[in-house]
Chain A
Amino acid sequence: MSSQTPIAIPQTPEAPPETIIEPGKAATDERYYYASQWQLIRWRFSRHKAAVVSIVLLVILYILAIFAEFFSPYTPDTRFEGYQSAPPTPIHWIKPNGGGFGPYVFDTVRELDKETFKYIYQPDETKVLPIHFFVHAEPYKLLGLIRTDIHLFGVKEGRVLLFGSDRLARDVFTRTLFGARISLSIGLVGVFISFVLGVLLGGISGYFGGVVDDVIQRVIDFLLAIPGLPLWMTLSAALPRDWPTLKLYFAITVILSILGWTGLARVVRGKMLALREEDYTLAARGAGASAWRIITRHLLPGFTSHLIVSITFNIPGMILSETALSFIGVGIQPPAVSWGTLLQDAQNLTAVAQQTWLMIPALFVIGTVLLFNFVGDGLRDAADPYAR
């Protein structure tokens, strides 16, 4: 440093520069500077196309389930005498003989096969049954409140069986929509219970540490050591068969959540421990902030996004478990409809081989699980916008 330069040094060279350009970030977007955590997460999530599409489809699915009475042409218990195990009626668009354009189905006729003594169903191409929208049919209460009899679509005579009918001649499409109610909501309710338990116990474990932490961790270890399905089966099998549907529903949900919270509690505890050591938590303490403020302002917001991710990944597990339990007959009991009970009909080989449409609810299960996983993937990538 022996060279003294003849350069005149401006007196306040450290005055902030006029344009602050972010190293590593395109500086084009002013909004970015002012964006809060949730905005950043939204932006990053919206770049994840599969996740965005999935979330839209899931919303549609839930709307279908909530307004099942409206979207389905019948009620889950409507029977079409003489149309047991009928195949789906395909929808056609261009009417024969220049009848114009619009959705319609052909009437179905049933014949007895003289050799196998089985009924076979054939479309009667002479009878065009146009599909009408907002038709008046069986009355119901929308959301349990509004009395109405309008259904989204239906036929004035004959029947429209989009997904075919089951052994008892009920519309599988209608039943799938109604089944979605239990199947889709059990995931949410179950995850909610897991969430409350997980955050509470994980939080206590992580914040207070010590003996409390040890006890909770051992309980979690114990629960995690129990294989899930057998436990659920045993517990569900122990439930009285004659309980009303609602009671049974909640009992099953609670059973499913027994193990679900453990993972969440671990996440919460881990994050709590990590964030407790962050300098900004220390700074808040140094400023005199109370424990309550530190938890609510500095710790919790630090991992809510991670919680949401965990939850999203937990929901499909719940849905699958319910389906599995109901499928083997220890979950939701008929006459209540869930995707699991619907699949009970597809339990025997003939059904799988000859009445493939009875498997359609399974497609819904698979689809839903996939959609939740896509959303979870997108959320996971977006969850920590500050990852460096």
Chain B
Amino acid sequence: MVNQPQPPLLEIQNLKKYFSAQRGFIRRQLVTVKAVDDVNLQVQAGETLGIVGESGSGKTTLGRCITRLYEPTGGKVYLNDAGGRISVTELEGEDLKRFRRKAQTIFQDPYSSLNPRMNVLQTVGEPLLVNKLAKGKELEERVTETILQVGLRVEHLQRYPHSFSGGQRQRIGIARALVLQPEVIVADEPVSALDVSIQAQVLNLLIDLQQKYRLTYLFISHAMSVVRYISDRIAVMYAGKLVELGPKTELLEYPRHPYTEVLLAAVPRTAQRHRGKRNVTPGEPPDLANLPKGCVFVPRCKYAQDICRAQAPELRQVGTNLVSCHFAESLHLQGIKFETT
């Protein structure tokens, strides 16, 4: 780092989000689902932090707590930018509204994320309108400018979502997130619903926009190869907890958490294709309402010892990564062998 160290753009401290859900048909029972449990994270300005993990591990919930689409149950989120340090979790009213301009979301489903009854101008213009930043002619100009940025065209302004393909719809969603000139964008599986040939268009667009506007991305995905492509650092979540975080190459090549190893082993390869030779870890996804004592990964971990069942490991620095495993220092786990050519 040069000169004085810059504070991270986002500081997430002990963030928690619990949902209460009902279980059972006959005897209804109220259970607590710990969707995000005690997550600590720092995000630097201008970087892309990839967040991976299996379905239900709390990726979406984490993203939405950070942008205040959900109210966290506990913990703090701070935003440090040119305007100083604000405590996001405590904002209300006008302050919250001002924060929302800085943190926007891109949604996964290009169909449900656009109101079918609003045309492109209305959809992309809505954030400007409700924040009273522009109206009338000026609104139209700013919307036009933004949709040109994402590769749509002026004549698309008056068209309705039903007349666009999935990739184009995703561009509209990106334009909507971009129009307020945010600092942080939480992209929640922005390419998962797209066809392979269109994924690349959207990924490249996100990269170009980031360079142009120095955006910070929280890029949520369950596709490892996509995360590798777009991220600088990768955070691995399991059962609402952050289990490993590190620079992407190090994390992929030398994972230090057993779950990361499992996750990487499961990724299908194109080059070193292994037909049936894979050693797949058995086991089912965790039940968030009924987590084991100790380490959350215990039931599926092949390295588990007694201490794992008794005591939850702390997240700590091991080499380049932050890891929460009792044996992070001693285990030699298998990662991805990158092609050298």
Q: Is the CB of B204 within 8 A of A388?
A: no
Q: Is the CB of A287 within 8 A of B180?
A: yes
Instruction: Indicate which residue in A14, A22, A34, A285 contacts B201 across the interface (CB closer than 8 Å).
Output: A14
Among B30-38, B81-89, B161-169, the one that faces the other chain is: B161-169
For window 12-37 of chain A, which residues contact chain B by CB distance below 8 Å?
Answer: 14-16, 20, 22-23, 25, 32-37
- Most chain B beta carbons < 10 A, residue from A37, A40, A280: A280
Q: Is the CB of A283 within 8 A of B271?
A: no
Q: Confirm or deny: B115 has a beta carbon within 8 angstroms of a beta carbon on chain A.
A: yes
Q: Confirm or deny: B76 has a beta carbon within 8 angstroms of a beta carbon on chain A.
A: no
Q: Confirm or deny: A385 has a beta carbon within 8 angstroms of a beta carbon on chain B.
A: yes
Q: Confirm or deny: B135 has a beta carbon within 8 angstroms of a beta carbon on chain A.
A: no
Q: Is the CB of B105 within 8 A of A286?
A: yes
Q: Is the CB of A386 within 8 A of B116?
A: yes
Q: Is the CB of A280 within 8 A of B115?
A: yes
Q: A2-B341, A14-B151, A385-B162 are in contact. Are A283 and B270 (CB under 8 A)?
A: no
Q: Is the CB of B69 within 8 A of A285?
A: yes
Q: Mark B130-146, 1 if CB is under 8 A from A, else 0.
A: 11000000000000000
Q: Is the CB of A293 within 8 A of B130?
A: yes
For window 329-388 of chain A, which residues contact chain B by CB distance below 8 Å?
Answer: 385-386, 388
Q: Confirm or deny: A282 has a beta carbon within 8 angstroms of a beta carbon on chain B.
A: yes
Q: Is the CB of A1 within 8 A of B271?
A: yes
Q: Confirm or deny: B104 has a beta carbon within 8 angstroms of a beta carbon on chain A.
A: yes
Q: Is the CB of B339 within 8 A of A283?
A: no
Instruction: Indicate which residue in B113, B127, B201 contacts A288 across the interface (CB closer than 8 Å).
Output: B127
Residues of A within 8 A of B205 (CB): 14
CA distance A278 to B97 in the complex (A): 21
Q: Is the CB of A286 within 8 A of B160?
A: no
Q: A14-B204, A279-B109, A386-B162 are in contact. Are A289 and B115 (CB under 8 A)?
A: no
Q: Is the CB of A301 within 8 A of B126?
A: no
Residues of B within 8 A of A32 (CB): 163
Residues of B within 8 A of A385 (CB): 116, 162
Q: Is the CB of B100 within 8 A of A286?
A: yes
Q: A16-B151, A288-B131 are in contact. Are A388 and B163 (CB under 8 A)?
A: no
User: From A23, which residue of chain B is reached at the shortest CB distance?
Assistant: B165
Instruction: Indicate which residue in A14, A22, A35, A278 contacts B165 across the interface (CB closer than 8 Å).
Output: A22
Residues of B within 8 A of A37 (CB): 116-117, 160
Q: Confirm or deny: A276 has a beta carbon within 8 angstroms of a beta carbon on chain B.
A: no
Q: Is the CB of B101 within 8 A of A288?
A: yes
Residues of A within 8 A of B204 (CB): 14
Q: Confirm or deny: B332 has a beta carbon within 8 angstroms of a beta carbon on chain A.
A: no
Q: Is the CB of A36 within 8 A of B130?
A: no
Nearest-neighbour CB distance to chain A for B51, whole angstroms, equals 18
Q: Mark A242-280, 1 if CB is under 8 A from B, else 0.
A: 000000000000000000000000000000000000111
CA distance A23 to B165 in the complex (A): 7
Nearest-neighbour CB distance to chain A for B72, whole angstroms, equals 15
Q: Confirm or deny: A61 has a beta carbon within 8 angstroms of a beta carbon on chain B.
A: no
User: From B122, which residue of chain A is reached at the shortest CB distance?
Assistant: A297
User: From B203, which residue of chain A is reached at the shortest CB distance?
Assistant: A14
Residues of B within 8 A of A386 (CB): 116, 162
Q: Is the CB of B151 within 8 A of A388?
A: no
Q: A14-B205, A34-B158 are in contact. Are A286 and B69 (CB under 8 A)?
A: yes
Q: Mark B109-126, 1 if CB is under 8 A from A, else 0.
A: 101111111110001001
Q: A23-B165, A33-B163, A290-B130 are in contact. Are A2 and B151 (CB under 8 A)?
A: no
Q: Is the CB of B159 within 8 A of A33?
A: yes
Residues of B within 8 A of A289 (CB): 126, 130
Residues of A within 8 A of B23 (CB): none
Q: Is the CB of B271 within 8 A of A2?
A: yes
Nearest-neighbour CB distance to chain B for A66, whole angstroms, equals 33
Q: Is the CB of A20 within 8 A of B168?
A: yes
Q: Is the CB of B117 within 8 A of A36?
A: yes
Q: Is the CB of B113 within 8 A of A279?
A: yes
Q: Is the CB of B112 within 8 A of A35?
A: no
Nearest-neighbour CB distance to chain B for A9, whole angstroms, equals 12
Q: Is the CB of A287 within 8 A of B127?
A: yes
CA distance A252 to B163 in the complex (A): 48
CA distance A40 to B161 in the complex (A): 12
User: From B176, which residue of chain A is reached at the shortest CB distance?
Assistant: A283
Q: Confirm or deny: A302 has a beta carbon within 8 angstroms of a beta carbon on chain B.
A: yes
Q: Confirm or deny: A284 has a beta carbon within 8 angstroms of a beta carbon on chain B.
A: yes
For window 166-216 of chain B, which residues contact chain A by CB distance below 8 Å?
Answer: 168, 173, 176, 180, 200-201, 204-205
Q: Confirm or deny: B152 has a beta carbon within 8 angstroms of a beta carbon on chain A.
A: yes
CA distance A319 to B50 in the complex (A): 61
CA distance A127 to B176 in the complex (A): 80
Q: Confirm or deny: B107 has a beta carbon within 8 angstroms of a beta carbon on chain A.
A: yes
Q: Confirm or deny: B302 has a beta carbon within 8 angstroms of a beta carbon on chain A.
A: no
Residues of B within 8 A of A287 (CB): 100, 104, 126-127, 130-131, 176, 180
Nearest-neighbour CB distance to chain A for B98, whole angstroms, equals 8
Q: A2-B339, A293-B130 are in contact. Are A16 and B152 (CB under 8 A)?
A: yes
Residues of A within 8 A of B64 (CB): 282
CA distance A170 to B271 in the complex (A): 93
Residues of A within 8 A of B293 (CB): none
26 contacts between A and B (CB under 8 A): A14-B151, A14-B200, A15-B151, A20-B168, A23-B165, A34-B158, A34-B159, A34-B160, A36-B117, A36-B160, A278-B115, A279-B108, A279-B112, A280-B123, A282-B64, A283-B105, A284-B126, A287-B126, A287-B131, A287-B180, A288-B96, A288-B100, A288-B101, A288-B130, A289-B126, A385-B116
Chain A interface residues toward B at CB < 8 A? 1-2, 14-16, 20, 22-23, 25, 32-37, 40, 278-280, 282-290, 293, 297-298, 301-302, 385-386, 388
A-B contacts besides A16-B153, A278-B113, 15 pairs, CB < 8 Å = A1-B339, A33-B160, A36-B119, A37-B116, A278-B112, A278-B115, A279-B109, A282-B64, A283-B176, A284-B126, A287-B131, A288-B100, A289-B130, A293-B130, A301-B117
